[in-house]
Amino acid sequence: VDVIHNTIVGTDSGFSMAIGVTRGSATISNTIIMSYTTGIDDGEGTVVEDFNLFNSVSLERSSGTPAGVNDRTDSTGNNNPDFVDMAADDYHLLATSNAIDSGMSAGVTDDHDEFLRDAAPDVGAFESPFGAAEISVANTSIAEGNIGTTLLSFPLTLSTVKGIAVT
């Protein structure tokens, strides 16, 4: 079984287990697991996991499952999923989410809203429109020899690498 690009959130950390593998094997990647006592329990199964984000999870994985080297956890401190509105079950990512561009290419081309995933996919069910920002300034020139202060104006465009213009 493959568990790829999912968001699994308990209503509080009293929920016991997010994913349990009692036999067989599972590959778990690019998944957000939040508010569970145990994130991944391999029981009698075998689990390979990496590029996951664990938040408010007491035990990210049971002892039989090795940690993914690219996971974001409570101990690494870079694990805030920053959802739009958890109370309304809106698990889309805000621009401040640590899940943005933190995944790996897993052959999944679109998210749960059918938006395309890019070369640096986000962790979780939804691909954010936000990414690293780029600033561009249009060509600007000013005549030399003016005395005093010259007001210079030029267009400034801020956009994300995912093509979303920011005003």
Q: Which residue type sits at 73? A: T
pLDDT at 71: 84
Each residue's pLDDT tens digit, 38-84 = 899 988 888 999 999 999 888 888 867 778 888 888 777 778 899 99
Task: Confirm if 100 and 160 have CB atoms less than 8 A apart.
Answer: no
- Kindly list the distances between the CA atom of residue 40 and the CA atoms of 69, 76, 87, 122, in Å, as whole numbers in the listed order: 15, 18, 24, 20
- For residues 76 and 54, give the distance between their C-alpha atoms in angstroms, rounded to a whole number: 10
Each residue's pLDDT tens digit, 128-160 = 987 655 566 666 666 666 566 666 666 666 655
